[in-house]
Amino acid sequence: MDKSHIRNFSIIAHIDHGKSTLADRILEYTGAVSERESKDQLLDSMDIERERGITIKLNTASLHYTYNGEDYNLNLIDTPGHVDFTYEVSRSLAACEGAILIVDATQGIEAQTLANMYLAMENDLTIIPVINKIDLPNADPEKVKNEIIKVFGYKEEDILLVSAKTGEGVKELLDHIVEVVPSPKGNKEEKLQMLVFDSIFDSYRGVVVSVRVVNGTVRIGDTIEMMSNGKTYDVVEITRNTPKEEKLKELAAGEVGFISAAIKDISDISVGDTITNYKDPASSKLPGYKPMKSMVFCGLFPIESNKFEDLREALQKLKLNDASLEFSPETSTALGFGFRCGFLGLLHMDVIKERITREFNIDIITTAPSVIYEVVMTNGDLLYIDAPSKMPEVTKIKEIREPFIKTNIFTPSEYIGPIMELCQEKRGNYVNMEYIDESRVNIHYEIPLSEVVYDFFDKLKSFTKGYASFDYELIGYLPSNLVKMDILLNGEIIDALSIIVHKDFAYHRGKSVVEHLKDAIPRQLFEVPIQAAIGHKIIARSTVKALRKDVLAKCYGGDVTRKRKLLEKQKEGKKKMKQIGSVELPQEAFMSVLSDDYDE
Amino acid sequence: MYKSIYIHIPFCHNICSYCDFCKMFYNKNLVDKYLKELKNEYESLKEDNVIDTIYIGGGTPSSLSMDELDKLFEIIKDVKLSSNYEFTFEINPEDIDEELLIKLKDNRVNRISIGIETINEKFYKFLNRYNNKDILKEKIKLCKKYFSNINIDLMYAFPKETIDDLKNDLDFFKSLDVEHISTYSLIIEDNTVIGNKNTLPIAEELDRKMYDYIIKYLEKIGYKHYEISNFSKEGYESIHNLTYWNNEHYLGIGLGASGYINNYRYTNTRSINKYLDGNYIYEKEKVSTRQKEEYELILGLRKINGVNKKDFFNKYGKQIEDEFDIINLIGKKLLEDNLGYIRIPKDKLYIENQILINFIGDIDEKD
């Protein structure tokens, strides 16, 4: 198709503002799927995406649309909605010329609306602001319109009203996309340059690469070259999803599609790479992506130590289409062999953990999430510490710095008080507050990232009855008065339980951690003393009492099968725990070191 | 070949708040149908061998009327009993009268088990069970006129119960001077009245203290602690219950009953409608040789004496220490080797499950 008739666009939104529903309605409207075929939220294909209502992996659909009697090809490139997946959003945005910015008519602008909007602007996209859910009784499109005008500087006539649920306004939106989103630039006669923006592993086809052709044309049988590593392959198949798979002979400048080339080794493909024609190569690579830095780190350890290699394989497979996942082998005295993994954020971490358990069937223990600390040594060396157990001796440390973030907390103004209290508790420094309208504000605090990684989201939700939304940007490293706190079980330091804490909060944290550990560790055959220590000084202690009763007092009517079943269940439960020395620890124990809500 | 029979009578005039056994309110019409079906079930399973023990439990077997009891005993009237047989019938204290006792005696019953549980008025309402100390005393006296082997049940660990409360119950039990005492702590099960009310169990420490107190008390007055929750005077151990703990075959009939025959363990349905339709079995499982060996320990270790190593070898042709992690557990003081028996140390009896899970094969390893 002539590229003047191609439009490449994404939909961006705060979570739950209706992105996937709008995508479905567009698919239906363009005849890509009949209403009957449409499973809810067609583009979200992973189980976890459906269950959590979030889109994690991007997906692309090529749609036919007729405007003024002419055929157009609309490529809808889906993006994840959550702050942790900014990297993926920027990947898909780089393959587009336009973006639909959805704002919920009942909620207004939220933290991630803002974050996604900035990303789209960085990518020079034409943005179409859309107010969704206008069918709901509590919708207030006028108020939301004013917010968009005030915060983003749009004019009233730029803003479209849509109900993704009923389909109202969808035709106008599609027309508007054709009218205002620029057709792709680039020349199909030029030398081939394709941007890799995603890849998946298919057991029959090998690695399937999602590409946006920027210049030139790729055809079946062409020999292609990965410009970052020089690896070459012959193109076996070119397809696109409408969203049903459609086989193509070629893909030309401006178009989006999938390429299979019998690529066996997943590590040959990196997202952001440029693919060119081996026989007639382009002289330069496309700009690619700024690599995202991992913000949150934790150790992943298989509960059964013989699953170490399986875990490595699982992480490699996950990394294939999630370049932001980092991992390297780690050894813990307590937990044995595992991996230190870096994630973009907490949700990213949860999703990966869940996929390992669910898709790869490996039971894992995860240690408490940590951030990267910068440690200035007395000899002037600078160390980056991603695990508390790697912290050097106190006497050799001159200064410890930790990452700080700046918050965007969107909230109805009645919750300002509780939110400020929460931020203070988390060692935050107040910056300022912007009024979006009379009743809503955006609160800015600078807070250590380490304080946000545990229960900040949960607490924010409960403090504001779920009305506040939260997003953050990293602002850099600042010196803090930090110390390493060790946890001892039965008198022995358990390295996987060590944490870094602020000195002023250490006593309180220590108390809270030992109490939570006491509750998290089931009673064992013997008493287990728990201690929190800084250096050699014990700052808090507690005890898990010895188990006193675990018996079926009455076994009636000879119901022996029931007794056996209970024992089997008990044994299965035990298997989910990690044996450390003579103590058995459940997963919760590793998370309880993050607690700080002990009441004295 | 089985040598023991268990018969379940699920009917009760009164439902106790903690009971999760298979039970329902007494209903004349239903009892008639039930007894007919019980006969059918028995006829379909009976063998011609001599029987050592019969146990009729419930529910409340004593809730049946005289003519219903006739029908019940009619079912098993042809059973040949061995010379030292034990035939137990469970009785609710309120049902005790001379007519009932004579009826039982006439029908070969030679042991009765009475569910007293507690004589502490504080707990009557909570348990939905009512006793009167003085009447009870008279009734037990009456029982003794006809029976020389009597068991009474003692329950403990009620919410807010103290050691003093327990001592009062024990003092009363002592005064009754019966041959056998069965004790068990209150377990708050789901789908019981107290379970639905989210009743909280007493502290684990106190529960354990009570258990230890009971053992000390009863041993001091001459009862032998021969099984985790059972005590008897010398020679009055329950032969029927020992069939279970010795991993021997037994026939179980009636609603919700379970049994072990021809190397199959089975549990009957708890649905009265299914049962009356002749669909007795809820689940049935063939027991592999390995599982038999496991059961030998799971069940045998309930006995204070434990499992006889020689008996194990004679039964399976293998040394018990080669089959299970016995040596290691002895090293950890979780088991003892005492005069040819593997047993659980006394101070570890109350955490028996922690020891038993070491003998359970993985679910996916079952053959």
Query: B4-243 — its CATH code?
Result: 3.20.20.70
Hey, which bits of A378-428 come out as E strands? 382-385, 397-412
Q: What is the pLDDT confidence band of residue B268, given thresholds at 50, 70 and 90?
A: very high
- B298, A547: Cβ pair inside 8 Å? no
Give domain status of residue A187, yes or no.
Answer: no
Domain end: A448, A480, A512, which one?
A480
Domain end: A309, A332, A366, which one?
A366
3-state helix, strand, coil in chain B (%, to 5): 45, 25, 35
- Gap between the Cα atoms of A324 and A319, Å rounded: 7
Q: What is the pLDDT confidence band of residue B111, given thresholds at 50, 70 and 90?
A: very high
B160, two tokens: 């807010």
* Residues of chain A with C-beta less than 8 angstroms from the C-beta of B295: 560, 564
Closest CA to B3 of B237, B240, B235, B238: B240
- A556, B243: Cβ pair inside 8 Å? no
* Residues of chain A with C-beta less than 8 angstroms from the C-beta of B301: none
Same domain, A396 and A460: yes
Number of domains in chain A: 5
- The CATH number assigned to the domain holding A231 equals 2.40.30.10
Residues 215 through 274 of chain B touching chain A, CB cutoff 8 Å: 228-229, 243-244, 250, 252, 256-260, 265, 267
Query: Which residue out of A525, A543, A545, A559 would a mutagenesis test of the B interface target, given it has the greatest number of B Cβ atoms within 10 Å?
Result: A559
| Min Cα separation B339/chain A (Å) | 25
* Residues of chain B with C-beta less than 8 angstroms from the C-beta of A551: 228, 349-353
DSSP, res B21: S
- Average pLDDT of span B33-48: 96
Q: Which residue from A523, A561, A574 is facing B357, i.e. has the nearest CB? A: A574
- A549, B350: Cβ pair inside 8 Å? yes
Per-residue pLDDT reduced to its tens digit, A286-306? 887 666 677 789 999 998 889
CA angle, A217 as apex, A215 and A218 as ends, to 5°? 125
Domain end: A447, A480, A513, which one?
A480
B119 within 8 A of B136, measured Cβ to Cβ: yes
Same domain, A340 and A402: no
Residue in A with minimal Cα distance to B365 = A568
Same domain, A312 and A346: yes
- Average pLDDT of span B12-17: 90
Same domain, A80 and A166: yes
SS3 state of residue B278: coil
- B57, A559: Cβ pair inside 8 Å? no
Give domain status of residue A289, yes or no.
Answer: no
Domain range enclosing A300: 296-366
- Gap between the Cα atoms of A138 and A105, Å rounded: 8
pLDDT exceeds 60 at position B116: yes
Give domain status of residue A361, yes or no.
Answer: yes
pLDDT exceeds 70 at position A89: no
- Hey, is the C-beta of A597 within 8 angstroms of any chain B C-beta? no
Q: Which residue from B184, B228, B267 is facing A559, i.e. has the nearest CB? A: B267
- The CATH number assigned to the domain holding A341 equals 3.30.70.870
Same domain, A475 and A491: no
- Gap between the Cα atoms of B351 and B367, Å rounded: 29
For residue A32, the model assigns a pLDDT of: 61
- B360, A571: Cβ pair inside 8 Å? yes
- A525, B334: Cβ pair inside 8 Å? yes
- A558, B285: Cβ pair inside 8 Å? no
For residue B28, the model assigns a pLDDT of: 94
Q: Taking the alpha carbons of A12, A15, A16, A20 in that order, is the dihedral positive or negative? A: positive
Give domain status of residue A287, yes or no.
Answer: no
Same domain, A457 and A497: no
Query: Which residue out of B282, B355, B356 would a mutagenesis test of the A interface target, given it has the greatest number of A Cβ atoms within 10 Å?
Result: B356
Hey, which bits of B224-304 come out as E strands? 224-227, 230-232, 251-253, 258-261, 264-268, 281-286
A185 exposure class (CB count in 10 Å sphere: 0-12, 13-18, 19+): exposed
Q: Which residue from B182, B257, B332 is facing A557, i.e. has the nearest CB? A: B257
Per-residue pLDDT reduced to its tens digit, B170-194? 999 999 999 999 999 998 888 888 8
Same domain, A302 and A444: no
For residue B364, the model assigns a pLDDT of: 44
Query: Which residue out of A550, A566, A568, A579 would a mutagenesis test of the B interface target, given it has the greatest number of B Cβ atoms within 10 Å?
Result: A550
Residue in A with minimal Cα distance to B347 = A548
Same domain, A497 and A476: no
Asked which of A151-160, A320-329, A504-513 is least confident by mean pLDDT, the reply is A320-329
Give domain status of residue A201, yes or no.
Answer: yes
- B258, A558: Cβ pair inside 8 Å? yes
| Min Cα separation B189/chain A (Å) | 12
- Look-up of token digits 């006193």: A548
- B351, A558: Cβ pair inside 8 Å? no
- Hey, is the C-beta of A570 within 8 angstroms of any chain B C-beta? yes
- Gap between the Cα atoms of A563 and B297, Å rounded: 13
Q: Which residue from B183, B207, B285 is facing A561, i.e. has the nearest CB? A: B285
| Min Cα separation B242/chain A (Å) | 10
- B229, A523: Cβ pair inside 8 Å? no
Residues 520 through 559 of chain A touching chain B, CB cutoff 8 Å: 523, 525, 545, 547-559
CA angle, B350 as apex, B345 and B351 as ends, to 5°? 85
- Gap between the Cα atoms of A441 and A418, Å rounded: 14
A17 exposure class (CB count in 10 Å sphere: 0-12, 13-18, 19+): buried
pLDDT exceeds 60 at position A116: yes
- Average pLDDT of span A361-367: 90
- Gap between the Cα atoms of A138 and A135, Å rounded: 9
Per-residue pLDDT reduced to its tens digit, B83-100? 999 999 999 999 999 999
- Average pLDDT of span A541-547: 95
Q: What is the pLDDT confidence band of residue B34, given thresholds at 50, 70 and 90?
A: very high
Q: What is the pLDDT confidence band of residue A46, given thresholds at 50, 70 and 90?
A: low
Q: What is the mean pLDDT of chain B?
A: 94
How many other C-beta atoms are found inside a 10 Å radius of the C-beta of residue B101?
A: 21
Residue A570 CB-half CA count within 13 A: 20
Same domain, A436 and A453: yes
- Average pLDDT of span A191-197: 91
B103 within 8 A of B142, measured Cβ to Cβ: no
pLDDT exceeds 50 at position B366: no
Residue in B with minimal Cα distance to A582 = B332
Same domain, A7 and A149: yes
- A548, B250: Cβ pair inside 8 Å? no
Same domain, A65 and A122: yes
Residue ranges of chain B assigned to CATH 3.20.20.70: 4-243
- A549, B244: Cβ pair inside 8 Å? no
pLDDT exceeds 60 at position A50: no
Between A555 and B253, the more confident residue is B253
- Average pLDDT of span A411-431: 93
Same domain, A576 and A490: yes
The H-assigned helical ranges of A410-549 are: 416-425, 449-452, 456-463, 506-520
- Average pLDDT of span B316-343: 95
pLDDT exceeds 90 at position A78: no
Give domain status of residue A20, yes or no.
Answer: yes
DSSP, res A252: E
Q: What is the pLDDT confidence band of residue A53, given thresholds at 50, 70 and 90?
A: very low
Give domain status of residue A75, yes or no.
Answer: yes
